[in-house]
Structure 1
Amino acid sequence: MSALDQASLHQLYSENNGWLKSWLRARLGNTADAADLAQDTFVRVMTARNQVPIREPRSYLSAIARALLIDKVRRRTIEQAYLQALALRPEPVEVSPEVRLSIIEMLVSVDALLDELGPRTRGIFLAVQLEGLPYATVAERFGVSVTTVKNHLVRAMTRCLLVAEH
C-alpha cells in the first residue's frame, strides 16, 4: 500500500469511524458489537480497496457493514439452530470448543452453498437429502420429470464437491 493509499485510508477512517459506529449501534443496540463490526468494515475496505476513489464514503461503508451484519445474524441463527439440535438429542453430547467452531463454520458454508443453488435446485436437494423422498415423489412435488430432479441433484452435488475441495 503506497503512502497515498495509507493517507486516504486514514482519512476515510478518521472522518467516518465515529459515524459508522453510531450507525451500527442504532441497528445492533450494542456498543461493543458496533465497534467490532465497524472495525471489520474498515478491514474489509483495507483488504479489498482498489485505486478508484470512493465518491460516497458513508454509502460505501454502510453497504459493507450491512453485508457483514447480515453475515453475523445468519451465523448467529445457524449457531442457535445447532445448539437447539444438540439440546434435543436424548443423550448429552459434549463437544470441544474447537470442534464446535469447526461444525459451525461447516454449517455456515453449507448454508451459503444452499443459498447459491437457486430455489428449485435447493428445494429438490433438500427434499431428497433431508426428507429422504424418492425422486418420483420429488418430481411430483415440484412438477418436473424425474430426469429434471436428477439434473438438479447433479448440479447441487457438483457444487457441494467443489466447496468441499476448498
Structure 2
Amino acid sequence: MADSSKIVLDDKNNGEEIEIDSSVLEVIMGIAAEKVDGVAAMHGNVKSGINRVLGRENRGKGIVIKLDDDHNLISDVYVSFEAGSYVPKVAMDLQKSLRQQVLQMTDLVLKEINVHVTGLVFPDDPEEQQDNRGTSQLFSDIDEKSKNESTPES
C-alpha cells in the first residue's frame, strides 16, 4: 500500500493493481446514505464545515473509512435521522444500502459499518404548518354554523 488513504485492489492473475482513495469511498457512501428513507442529514467534521463555508460541496461528510490490522474496511457513519423514524430500521437500511453500493461500485466488502446517530431533525417547513392549519379548516363549517346559531336574528 502506497499510503494509508489509498486502498489497493490487486489482480493476482495479471499482476495489476488499482488504487482507490478513501475519499472516493466516502463520497460513494455519502451519496447512498442521503437516499435512505429516514436519514435527514449527514454530520461532518471541521474540514467539511470549512468547505461548506467556502461554498464547496462535500458529499463524503459524516463518513470515515479506515482499515483495521487485517486490512478489512471499517466505516463510521455520523448521521441525523428524521424525527419519528424507527431508529433500528433506518440504521439497518443504511448499513445495507452502503454495503451494497460500495460492493457494486468497487467490489470491496465493508466488514463493519458503525452508525452513530448524532441527532433527530424535526420538520420545520411551511408545508407542515399548513397541514396543521388544514386540520382546523376541517371544523370551520361547524364553527360557522355555531356562530350563526348563536347570533340572534333581527
Q: Do these two structures clear the TM 0.5 threshold for a shared fold by scoring above it?
A: no
TM-score (norm 1): 0.21
Q: Which has the larger radius of gyration?
A: 2
Q: Which has the larger helix fraction?
A: 1
TM-score (norm 2): 0.22
